[in-house]
């Protein structure tokens, strides 16, 4: 639906939108996801199979893990609890809880065919915009700081990252991720799939605790 747009804020994205695969900040991963979904819709249109198709489009999926075998998105949690540096930024991070993603798939399958067939659904925790990395580190510091985890606590303004981007490759990557607040509207999933979204604060905290419990993140002496 949306990945690294250059459109000025405020911007609202709905299921009618598609990622511009030729955009200057669009990753290969986002291009692949977009082309894959378009291929699925083209197949449905051309072949007209005897089954229905519904697209579930989540933002970054986080939340409690079920084992020590975790996906790449959990690196975001590890970076906050086992940081390589103490810096955080103003980048807006679009997140949804894994439990809501599961709920969306199950509900889409259970509902009458006419309710979901041929539809796309944005699965995202809020239609009011995302928290920034800086705001998320505050949540994690409050929960995990007393346990001995050193969550990044030094806020670096966007202008500083811009200056550093001329000198350091890592700063270039960070600065490319800084942009307008993303307003991904989840009205369709709330009204049709009946999703009651889990607050992002609970998603982050539950993810951290579960990763500690399964040994993905080492326990501290705190």
160-172: burial string, b at 16+ Cβ within 10 Å, e else: ebeeebeeeeebe
Q: Between the ranges 69-73, 85-89, 123-127, 142-146, where is the mean pLDDT highest?
A: 142-146
Per-residue confidence at 90, pLDDT binned at 50, 70, 90? confident
Contact by Cβ (8 Å): 92, 129: yes
Omega of the bond leading into 10 within 30 degrees of 0 (cis)? yes
- pLDDT reported for residue 175: 66
Output the average pLDDT for the chain. Answer: 87
3-state secondary structure of 191: helix
> What proportion of the chain, given as a percentage, has pLDDT over 70?
88
Residue whose entry in the numeric block shows the structure tokens 């960070």: 174
pTM for the predicted model, two decimal places: 0.86
- For residue 143, the SS3 value is helix
Instruction: Report which of 198, 191, 192 is spatially closest to residue 54, judged by C-alpha positions.
Output: 192
Longest dimension (CA), the chain: 60
């Amino acid at each position: 639906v949306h990945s690294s747009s250059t459109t000025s804020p405020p911007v609202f994205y709905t299921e009618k939108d598609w990622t511009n695969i030729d955009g200057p900040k669009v990753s290969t991963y986002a291009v692949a996801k977009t082309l894959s979904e378009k291929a699925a819709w083209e197949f449905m249109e051309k072949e007209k199979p005897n089954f229905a198709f519904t697209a579930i489009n989540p933002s970054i999926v986080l939340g409690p893990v079920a084992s020590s075998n975790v996906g790449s998105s959990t690196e975001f949690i590890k970076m906050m609890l086992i940081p390589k540096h103490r810096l955080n930024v103003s980048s807006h991070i679009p997140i949804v809880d894994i439990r809501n993603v599961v709920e969306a798939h199950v509900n889409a399958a259970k509902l009458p065919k006419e309710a979901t067939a041929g539809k796309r659904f944005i699965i995202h925790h809020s239609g009011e915009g995302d928290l920034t990395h800086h705001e998320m580190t505050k949540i994690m510091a409050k929960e995990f700081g007393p346990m001995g985890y050193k969550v990044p606590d030094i806020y670096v303004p966007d202008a500083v990252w811009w200056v550093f981007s001329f000198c350091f490759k890592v700063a270039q990557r960070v600065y490319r991720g800084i942009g307008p607040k993303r307003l991904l509207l989840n009205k369709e999933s709330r009204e049709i799939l009946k999703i009651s979204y889990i607050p992002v604060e609970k998603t982050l905290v539950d993810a951290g605790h579960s990763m500690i419990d399964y040994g993905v993140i080492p326990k501290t002496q705190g």
